[in-house]
């Protein structure tokens, strides 16, 4: 992509109204061109591989099938892959960390002002990172106090606790022994300074670690 070439976009979201809204905002911006839309994460992966996309605007939740984080990982794993900018309503650690680890260049919330969205697209196309303020704040806090931050696995375990699963069911879901699940829970309790599953879920929800 040359400096004067338009930035070519793929809009990946399962809600037609959201895609239409993104298109309406972005097509008014000079130098931005919406090349295609995808209603599923699988379609986004396929379309992004065509070679004519510079930035994918990716939602995280697509109902059934592949999620946005997995799609991001598949897209960014290819040579000369387009950048992926997450545009979603979710900002918990359980959502942001898998997406960023999957290779997303930026993470924006859907309530961001239109000018912020356009700026984030241009920033992503240039290979630089844009993070929603709440996401950036929590990532900084994790760096400042790594000993109290939950790992991705601990976040997965606690999310399933919040869904009402037993230790055995969590182990089956995550392919862990029940003893390993208990060990994760013990570390979660210590980090959150709580002594029960209910308190852990409540505290983690208040801190934005998991989404309820």
Pseudo-torsion of CA 10, 12, 15, 17, nearest 10°?
Answer: -20
Q: What is the pTM of this model?
A: 0.78
- What residue segments make up the domains of the chain, in order of their start? 7-140, 146-206
**Class of the domain covering 7-140:** alpha beta
Distance CA 98, CA 91 (A): 11
Q: Quote the pLDDT of residue 3.
A: 61
CATH number 1.10.10.10 is the correct assignment for the domain at 146-206: yes
% the chain with pLDDT above 90: 75
- Structure confidence at residue 65 (pLDDT): 87
pLDDT at 2: 52
Q: Residues of the chain whose pLDDT is less than 50?
A: none
């Amino acid at each position: 992509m040359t400096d004067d070439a338009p930035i070519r976009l793929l809009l990946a979201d399962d809600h037609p109204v959201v895609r239409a809204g993104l298109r309406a905002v972005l097509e008014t911006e000079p130098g931005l061109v919406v090349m295609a839309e995808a209603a599923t994460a699988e379609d986004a992966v396929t379309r992004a591989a065509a070679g004519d996309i510079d930035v994918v605007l990716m939602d995280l939740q697509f109902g059934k099938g592949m999620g946005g984080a997995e799609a991001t990982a598949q897209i960014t794993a290819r040579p000369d892959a387009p950048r992926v900018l997450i545009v979603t309503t979710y900002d918990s650690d359980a959502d942001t960390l898998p997406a960023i680890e999957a290779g997303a260049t930026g993470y924006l919330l859907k309530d961001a002002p239109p000018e912020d969205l356009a700026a984030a697209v241009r920033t992503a196309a240039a290979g630089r990172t844009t993070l929603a303020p709440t996401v950036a704040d929590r990532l900084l806090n994790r760096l400042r106090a790594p000993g109290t931050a939950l790992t991705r696995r601990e976040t997965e375990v606690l999310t399933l606790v919040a869904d009402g699963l037993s230790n055995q069911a969590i182990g089956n879901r995550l392919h862990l022994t029940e003893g390993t699940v208990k060990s994760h829970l013990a570390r979660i309790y210590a980090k959150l300074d709580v002594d029960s599953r209910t308190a852990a879920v409540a505290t983690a929800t208040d801190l934005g670690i998991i989404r309820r």
